[in-house]
Amino acid sequence: MTITEAPQATRRLTTSKAMVEAIAQEMDRDPSVFYLGEDVGAYGGIFSSTTGLLERFGPQRIIDTPISETAFIGLGIGAAVEGMRPIVEVMFTDFMGVCLDQIYNHMAKIHFESGGNVKVPMVLTMAAGGGYSDGAQHSQCLWGTFAHLPGMKVVVPSTPADAKGLMTSAIRDDNPVVYIFHKGVMGLPWMVKNPRSIDEVPDGEHTVPIGEARVAREGSDVTVVTLSLSVHHALDVAESLAPQGIDVEVVDLRSLVPLDRDAIVASVAKTGRLVVVDEDYLSYGVSAEVVASVTDRDPTLLRVPPQRIAVPDVPIPYAHDLEHAVLPRHDRIERAVRTAMGR
Amino acid sequence: MTDVLFPALSEENPDAEGVLATWFVTEGSAVTADQLLAEVQVDKVSAEVLAPSAGVVHLLVEEEAAVPQGTPVARIE
Amino acid sequence: MTTEAASTSIPQQSRRGEVPEAAVRLGLYRTMVLSRTYEEAILREYHADKGPGFDIGKGLVPGEMHLSAGQEPVAAGVCAHLTTDDAVTATHRPHHLAVAHGVDLRKMTAEIFGRETGLGRGRGGHMHLFDPATHFSCSGIIAEGYPPALGQAFAFQRQGTDRIAVAVTGEGAANQGAFHESLNLAARWSLPVVFVVEDNDWGISVPRDAATAIGSNADRAAAYGIPGERVENDVEAVYDAARRAVARARAGDGPSLIEVHTLRMWGHFEGDAQGYRTDLADVAERDPIPRYEEVLRKAGVLDDEKVAQAKADASRRVEDAVEFARSSAIPDPADATAYVFTEGALR
């Protein structure tokens, strides 16, 4: 966690409350910031992304939309072009299909196509991830797809403090920033309890630089590069393997665009062993990009073949046991670490 | 000494039990007035419990415990 | 650099169907002549070096080219009611609207020629013209220019102004989801938008009747609770309908839809042989500019001298723009990956 000044007072919050706090602070600071999406008003966001904000800021700034993603994302784009700073929510990353043109052909390209003359300072927030039997159309991560398409920054916080810090940075950034939060890190009372979803969050102004990874746990034997909820699982595995003499370093990417390739390479240079854990689909995505970050630079850094633990190239199944067989959870992570260690 | 009560969330069923879902503070920590202490749930409705005053908080129930509405869940001295 | 504003100071008329003042009529004619002259120059430059045969990627102006000859009445009639503070979003066929709205001809032409001095430093090209000075933009994705116009209108409204956004698409776009979402949202939120549909009868090669379930997209407006009007390719009919729609938006009474049954005189794109087209024989006589010229001559607004002057003025401005573009620098390939992100300091 980057601290911008002397150590600040902190208190514990869930990730969702930390995210809301960042939005509220920025809305206080800048009257051009507003939030729109489905059920973000009275409901407070289906995944608690805007809890309490309607009461505080009113319906002119916390706005419920019709089910018209193309129209309201486009509205965000036009408002951003004319000097406002919208935060637009797409309820699930899985819904990108109905509105992808506004996102990747417009929001992401206008700055470039205008030779830098037009800016689109907007944030696109989205909930992602599975593990609670929501089926193939409501459990995807898809951050690799957004990262693959040029012109938008992509951030994926795993901790409450980073959720606040990255949201603040995303709002202040003059570029379009896609902010993806895994439902499992939010600390929602109606999902399985996750102790890592509650943690210290700095009071007051708190920013985390976009494009900078964080070493969540230092180690010397094997590097696990990961993001989002998988950071929690990697830390759990690291803690259980430590007494067995396997010292795991966990690198939390935090951002996919820009990708902190230097941090990835630095860690692998130290340990020589790489396991990538990604809840997005295996092929043509984030995990391959992380491996390529090392091999493009110096493949001899790797003492053993790198491993990628991701969702295989299948739609995510509904039945609990099937779903958990494809998710990159503790058992698969531990097996990969042991394979890397040769034990 | 101030009691912190489990809030009444269900008007239709005042005797319904809820759950203390999450503690945001630890036993014996110093808290300020209005600081977030806990999140509780009755059926699908959740609510925040804020500290009524400043002081040192003592937790009376565990996380995930079933708690009747109106019962003290913590004390602040 | 200032541009000769195309009809931005025309006085408004107040009653439906009333014939505009002579100054207005002359302005409409001159705007259409400027637009046509521009397209003829682009046509010339585009085809000059594509041969032998036709290699689309070759020459000074490579790529697709979608020219607006025949559709000038839409641009002139609508933009006469706008200032450069109003926003216009257009399509893959944007030039007439850009010209009528007052986009700098030199910068626009340089962009079409892919030069560093272009609106987008050569990064966007003819379908992706962005001019912050006039709040003009266009997109090559059918119907997707409507949603950002909503946002511009939203911002203008929030900023406490009576500025509006005009969103233009073709009749084929009226069957795309973005069209319907945009009309509903603009209506629901009472946004200051004027939706314009250019029905030129052809969605590339597919006639409107084969694609659209109803006879007029103006009738679709009722589905969203907003006024809809369909007019023929007559610049004064467009001017009249646009006057009402623009006034409505500026007064805070919400969006309207205008459909213009216009004319695509040339191909969908340059290089389009139009073998599918059944109405080519009629095109010349339906050309809106000679028709309007005749009307104005009869009304005493135009004579030989004024016609010649309009054409000479247009030609001078257009050739100046073309020459500026031709003599401008080609972008440096070393900068090919620049401008993806703005790297200004965080606020």
pLDDT single digits (tens) A312-330: 999 999 999 999 999 999 9
pLDDT tens column, A284-308? 999 999 999 999 999 999 999 999 9
Active site annotation includes A69: yes
Residues C171-185: what's their mean pLDDT? 98
Q: Is A201's Cβ below 8 Å from some Cβ in B? A: no
On whether residue C11 sits in a domain, the answer given is no
Do the bridges between strand B66-68 and strand C87-90 make them parallel or antiparallel, or are there none, so unpaired?
Answer: unpaired
- Residue A248 tokens read as 């795991």
Both A188 and A84 in a single domain? yes
pLDDT tens column, A211-255? 999 999 999 999 999 999 999 999 999 999 999 999 999 999 999
A305/A302 Cα distance (integer angstroms): 7
Please name the residues between 12 and 41 in chain A that touch chain B, using a CB distance below 8 Å. Answer: 12-14, 17
Chains A+C touching (3+ CB pairs under 8 Å): yes
Contact C148 A78 (CB under 8 A): yes
A290/A288 Cα distance (integer angstroms): 5
Residues A146-157: what's their mean pLDDT? 98
On whether residue C342 sits in a domain, the answer given is no
ipTM: 0.93
Both A245 and A303 in a single domain? yes
Both A144 and A224 in a single domain? no
Cβ-based contacts of C152 with chain A (< 8 Å): 78-79, 81-82
- Residue A266 tokens read as 């630095």
| b/e sequence C314-346, b meaning 16+ C-beta within 10 Å | bbebbeebbebbeebeebeeeeeeebbbeeeee
Task: Name, in order, each residue with C-beta under 8 angstroms of A125's C-beta and a sequence gap of 6 or more.
Answer: A37, A49, A87, A88, A89, A90, A179, A180, A181
Whole-model pTM: value is 0.93
- Among A106, A111, A138, A233, the one annotated catalytic: A138
On whether residue C261 sits in a domain, the answer given is yes
Work out the pLDDT band at C9, boundaries 50, 70, 90: very low
Q: Give the 3-state secondary structure of residue A312.
A: coil
- pLDDT for res C190: 98
Work out the pLDDT band at C12, boundaries 50, 70, 90: very low
CATH number of residue A287's parent domain: 3.40.50.920
Residues A75-96: what's their mean pLDDT? 98
- pLDDT for res B10: 81
- pLDDT for res C2: 37
Torsion angle of C-alpha atoms C337, A267, A167, A282, degrees rounded to 10: 70
Work out the pLDDT band at C10, boundaries 50, 70, 90: very low
Q: Please tell me which of the candidates C120, C159, C344 has its beta carbon nearest to residue A174.
A: C344
Cα C135 to the center of its chain, rounded Å: 13
pLDDT tens column, C238-296? 999 999 999 999 999 999 999 999 999 999 999 999 999 999 999 999 999 999 999 99
| b/e sequence C265-287, b meaning 16+ C-beta within 10 Å | bbbbebebebeebeeeeebeeeb
On whether residue C119 sits in a domain, the answer given is yes
Task: Name, in order, each residue with C-beta under 8 angstroms of B35's C-beta and a sequence gap of 6 or more.
Answer: A11, B25, B50, B51
Q: Is B35's Cβ below 8 Å from some Cβ in A? A: yes
Q: Give the 3-state secondary structure of residue A44.
A: coil
Alpha helices for chain C (secondary structure H):
22-48, 72-79, 95-101, 105-112, 146-158, 177-188, 208-211, 235-250, 280-286, 288-298, 304-326
- pLDDT for res A7: 54
- pLDDT for res C1: 36
**For the range C53-60, what are the long-range contacts, defined as Cβ-Cβ under 8 Å and sequence gap of 24 or more?**
C54/C271, C56/C271, C60/C113, C60/C326
A313/A20 Cα distance (integer angstroms): 34
Residues C75-88: what's their mean pLDDT? 98
- Residue A323 tokens read as 């779903």
CATH number of residue C296's parent domain: 3.40.50.970
CATH number of residue A99's parent domain: 3.40.50.970
CA distances from A66 to C62, C185, C256, C261 (A): 41, 7, 19, 31
- Residue A88, phi then psi, degrees to nearest 5: -115, 130
Chains A+B touching (3+ CB pairs under 8 Å): yes
Q: Which residue has the tokens 């009919």?
A: C237
On whether residue C286 sits in a domain, the answer given is yes
Chains in contact with chain B (at least 3 beta-carbon pairs closer than 8 A): A
On whether residue A329 sits in a domain, the answer given is yes
Q: Give the 3-state secondary structure of residue A275.
A: strand
A325/C186 Cα distance (integer angstroms): 46
**One-character DSSP codes across A62-97:** EEE--S-HHHHHHHHHHHHHTT-EEEEEEEEGGGGG
On whether residue C210 sits in a domain, the answer given is yes
Q: Please tell me which of the candidates B22, B35, B44 has its beta carbon nearest to residue A198.
A: B22
- pLDDT for res B16: 82
Q: Is B25's Cβ below 8 Å from some Cβ in A? A: yes
Q: Please tell me which of the candidates A13, A189, A193 has its beta carbon nearest to residue B36.
A: A13
Structural domain harbouring A323: 214-341
Work out the pLDDT band at C51, boundaries 50, 70, 90: confident
Count the alpha carbons within 13 Å of A233 in the hemisphere toward its beta carbon.
Answer: 25
Both A160 and A254 in a single domain? no
- pLDDT for res C6: 40
Please give the share of chain A, as a percent, with pLDDT higher than 70.
98
Both A57 and A196 in a single domain? yes
Looking at the structure of chain C, the number of domains it has is: 1
Both A183 and A264 in a single domain? no
- Residue B16 tokens read as 């319904």
Which of A185-194, B5-14, C47-56, C227-236 has the weakest average pLDDT?
B5-14
Q: Is A68's Cβ below 8 Å from some Cβ in C? A: yes
pLDDT tens column, B4-46? 999 988 888 888 889 999 999 999 999 999 999 999 988 778 8
- pLDDT for res C24: 97
Q: Please tell me which of the candidates C128, C152, C340 has its beta carbon nearest to residue A151.
A: C340
Structural domain harbouring C207: 22-328
- Among A26, A69, A89, A289, the one annotated catalytic: A69
- With CA atoms as reference, report the closest residue to B44 among A65, A44, A196: A44
Do residues C146 and C174 make contact, with C-beta atoms less than 8 angstroms apart? Answer: no
On whether residue C242 sits in a domain, the answer given is yes
Q: Give the 3-state secondary structure of residue C286.
A: helix
Q: Which residue of A has its CA nearest to B47?
A: A189
Whole-number average pLDDT of chain C: 94
On whether residue A293 sits in a domain, the answer given is yes
Residues C110-136: what's their mean pLDDT? 98
On whether residue C157 sits in a domain, the answer given is yes
Looking at the structure of chain A, the number of domains it has is: 2
C128/C139 Cα distance (integer angstroms): 5
Chains B+C touching (3+ CB pairs under 8 Å): no
CATH number for the region B2-76 comes to 2.40.50.100
Both A147 and A288 in a single domain? no
